[in-house]
Amino acid sequence: MTNLPGGLDGGLDEPEELQPAEGSLRLVGDDDAYDVAAWEAATAAVLRKARRLGDDAPDTDVWDVLTRATLDGIRVPPIGQPADLEDLTTSGRPQRAGAWDVRTILVGDDAAEVNDAALVDLDNGATSLHLDVELATDLAVALRGVLLDLAPVTLDRPAEEQSVELARLLEESAGDPHPGSNLSADPATALTFGEGHADGARTVADSFVDTVRRAQALGVLGAVVDGTALHERGASDAQELGWTMAVGVHYLRLLTEAGFSVDDAAGLVEFRYAATDEQFPTIAKLRAARRLWARVLEASGAGDVPQRQHVVTSRAMMTKQDPWVNMLRATVAAFAAGVGGADAITVVPFDARLGRPDALGRRIARNTSSLLIEESHVAVVADPAGGAYAVERLTDELAVAGWAELGRIESDGGFGEQAAAGVKARVAEVRAAREAGIADRSRPLTGVSEFPNLAEALPEREPWSGHGVQPYAAPYEDMRATPPDRPVFLATMGSIAAHTARATFASNLFAAGGVAVEVAGATSDTAAVLEAYAGQPVVCLAGTDAAYAEWGADLVAALRAAGASYVVLAGKPGEKTVTDVDDSCAVGVDALGFLGRIREELSR
């Protein structure tokens, strides 16, 4: 052995020819075989220790304790088992081979600025462009220098004039337009949500057919079925699936009535879905969408026409506060979209909720896909989630729920005003359920409802409005936008170790509503707390149950005498050993309701 670094030349023996190992390599012993009952017993012991399972409850109750229900009512168990795949129709697997199309989103009303951003993106990892621009924006200027035979271009909820202008530019381009470009006609979104144009239904249908026919002549896509429009208004995954199937069926009907074959019509349509940081539901949703669309086409007599999916990371999940966390949300969402088989992925820049994304936001967005493709090699495996018990079961149940939603829409007459009204009503119910979870923080928002930073300096961006997005974080962000003038006094009782958990919980809860806290620090008795007290109207007690019992009542009386008008106890109501308090806070409290009461007291 020669030429080894570090003076090792000659220091090692030449390896002998490897011989096969005797016997088999076993990683477990004969006594290490466990069944589901053993898992239930071990898990039950942990839950009982954590007081999440009663001492007399059977071990099998661990499934109810640990099973999570989605907004569609689908129960997701804590572990998957082979039995989950019994009698399961496995389909909807990804059809994409290799890397997805890295489709960056560009917003603005200044065509020259949009053009500069487009060229930078295409030079630095983007492979296509998604334009979200004002009607007055000159697309010819915005796309100047873009090689339309190499880089597909799509439009975000365009007016008819924009689709016509893009078609003209594609016709006049030097080479044949890239087949992935899309004139993006989508009258369903315009009619239902008032985006784009919404003329009379017949006029819209005629212009839709004309646009798709023009796209067919150009060799590009003509229409979009936009599920993100419903998602951004609070829809569940199954509702998004059912809605997109209904709109897809509507478009097939319009096009076949105009003389298109079912196969040709299906091949000219692209579906747009939202990807959230709920990783497994996102993967399952994309797989279920392909399965549902294949069923629609089968029922329509079509051949094997793959569903083309453009996936956009959720705008609704993004936050204004602590916007840096949006980078993490988008990374998880983009990963899920890639694993789920998306053909094109648009990562919305982390600063989009603050206004028009700047160069940093766009750079991080496109690099998210580049990292997942080039460094994590997510796109190398065709179906990374295939065969996973949880994913396959969730895919099947989402497909069933989505098909049921399609049935409800069809029973209302198919796409139209009556069906849309029913969809909106059902979405409102789901949105209310989500908002309840956000209010009591069972659906946490990192950096907003959890671990907020009142001292953060938000980056400034040029104003830019969204498309009717109803952000999950809006109730907390509205509070943070108008912080009260006075803080809450946190009356800590005892040593730091004695009150840390409850004091930290209360401080984070107040901060979520934009309420600052002034802390007493370590104390030994009522006098020590009063020495730190400066007359704040709202006081929160944080200590142990023993401290509450020993000197809580005296402390409350003394604080009221010193000027406190509203006293809060940190702890669950059942743990109260101090009766003369006005409110309490603990895990599971309606945080928005609680914070509203506190802010009202501070404003008196």
How do residues 186-217 score in pLDDT, each as one tens digit? 999 988 987 654 444 456 788 999 999 999 99
Domain shared by 390 and 490, yes or no: no
Assigned domain for 469 exists? no
Which residue is associated with the tokens 């979520």?
512
- The CATH number linked to 578 is 3.40.50.280
Spatial distance between the Cα atoms of 139 and 129, rounded to a whole number of angstroms? 12
Spatial distance between the Cα atoms of 37 and 373, rounded to a whole number of angstroms? 41
Domain shared by 537 and 508, yes or no: yes
Mean predicted confidence (pLDDT) in 393-415: 95
Q: What percent of the chain has pLDDT over 90?
A: 77
The confidence band for 411, taking pLDDT boundaries of 50, 70 and 90, is very high
Assigned domain for 13 exists? no
In SS3 terms, 317-351 reads as CCCCCCCCHHHHHHHHHHHHHHHCCCCEEECCCCC
Assigned domain for 416 exists? no
**Final residue belonging to a domain, choices 365, 389, 411:** 411
Spatial distance between the Cα atoms of 507 and 513, rounded to a whole number of angstroms? 10
Letter string b/e over residues 54-74, b meaning 16 or more CB atoms within 10 A of that residue's CB: eeeeebebbeeeeeeebbbeb
| pLDDT tops 80 at residue 6 | no
Q: What is the pLDDT of residues 361-403, one digit of tens each?
A: 999 999 999 999 999 999 999 889 988 998 999 999 999 999 9
Residue 499 burial (10 A CB sphere; 0-12, 13-18, 19+): buried
**Final residue belonging to a domain, choices 395, 411, 427:** 411
Assigned domain for 502 exists? yes
- The CATH number linked to 386 is 3.20.20.240
Domain shared by 64 and 108, yes or no: no
Assigned domain for 487 exists? yes
Assigned domain for 549 exists? yes
| pLDDT tops 80 at residue 541 | yes
Domain shared by 252 and 308, yes or no: yes
Spatial distance between the Cα atoms of 558 and 567, rounded to a whole number of angstroms? 11
Spatial distance between the Cα atoms of 260 and 250, rounded to a whole number of angstroms? 14
Candidates 587, 586, 588, 583; CA nearest to 599 is 583
pLDDT value at residue 70: 94
**Diameter of the chain measured on Cα atoms:** 88
The parent domain of residue 538 ranges over 482-602
**Final residue belonging to a domain, choices 367, 382, 411:** 411
Mean predicted confidence (pLDDT) in 476-499: 92
Domain shared by 108 and 76, yes or no: no
Domain shared by 156 and 207, yes or no: yes
Total of domains in the chain: 3
> What is the per-residue DSSP string for 183-230?
EEE-HHHHHHH--S----HHHHHHHHHHHHHHHHHHTSEEEEEETHHH
Whether 477 contacts 320, CB under 8 Å = yes
Q: What is the pLDDT of residues 122-173, one digit of tens each?
A: 999 999 999 999 988 999 999 999 999 999 999 999 999 999 999 999 999 9
